[in-house]
Amino acid sequence: MTSGVDGEFVRGPPGVVDQLRRICGTAERALFASGVGMSVATADGTNGMTVASDPTSERLEELQFTLGEGPCVDAFTTRRPVLVAELDSDAMSRWPVYAPALRDAGVRAVFAFPLQVGAARLGVLDVFRAHPGPLSRIHLGQALTLADLAVATLLDGQERATAGADGLDGAMEYGAELFQAQGMVMIQLGVTLTEALARLRAYAYAEDRRLTEVAADVVARRLSFDRDQQ
């Protein structure tokens, strides 16, 4: 683990934090946003780290977890995007403390996209805009793509940390066992080999376990994936 915001911790090597921050900056430019924030959840669903494109967005991102309300909290809980094209009276009723804080910061629209793979919830990507109005179809597609990129970055960081801990001596054995586990999960879920690997990595991340341990449990039949996890 590496140190995150305010002394909290996030899984993965330090480079992952920088990559997530760059994704926020890219999203801000691509989506014509006033700011973009990202919250990464810990295994128990609490806020493990917050990154953003700018200090104001980072403060707004963290404030949601302090207050226990906001689009990020709702998107994480429901596993669905929360798209608020205008901070109207409905938004004020929905988030009676957080919505006024958004308005005070100059935000007039907010869009939250959950970061998840299968049953594993990793966090949320929030897009703040200084003007009201919905995301266009193109911008919505770009936001979803950037959310997927954030998921891949988080999972890749966890896998690199695992590989580094294993060392070179166990690389061959690790690869063979992981491939066997992929095949078993592929059959259990009826998905592609690539998707099976994504599910293994997501499970390891969500449970705060090493990928090698999860693969070993699958091969030994101590752990089984089923269609209810999709």
pLDDT at position 115 is 93
Domain boundaries of the chain, sorted by first residue: 2-154, 167-229
pLDDT at position 168 is 35
pLDDT at position 198 is 84
* CA–CA gap between residue 105 and residue 57 (Å, rounded): 9
Q: What is the pLDDT of residues 152-174, one digit of tens each?
A: 888 876 655 555 544 334 444 44
C-beta separation of 71 from 102 below 8 A:
no
pLDDT at position 2 is 33
Which residues have CB under 8 Å from 208's CB, separation 6+? Answer: 11, 42, 43
Indicate the CATH number for domain 167-229.
1.10.10
pLDDT at position 187 is 85
- Is residue 2 exposed (0-12), middle (13-18) or buried (19+ Cβ within 10 Å)? middle
* CATH architecture type of domain 2-154: 2-Layer Sandwich (3.30)
Tokens of 169: 């001596």
Q: What is the pLDDT of residues 175-185, one digit of tens each?
A: 567 778 888 89
Tokens of 46: 């609490």
Q: What is this structure's pTM?
A: 0.69
- pLDDT under 70 in the chain at which residues? 1-14, 42-48, 157-176, 227-230
pLDDT at position 108 is 97
pLDDT at position 70 is 95
Q: H helices within the chain, ranges in order? A: 14-30, 55-67, 71-78, 89-94, 98-104, 137-166, 171-189, 193-206, 211-219
Alpha carbons within 13 A on the beta-carbon side of 91: 21
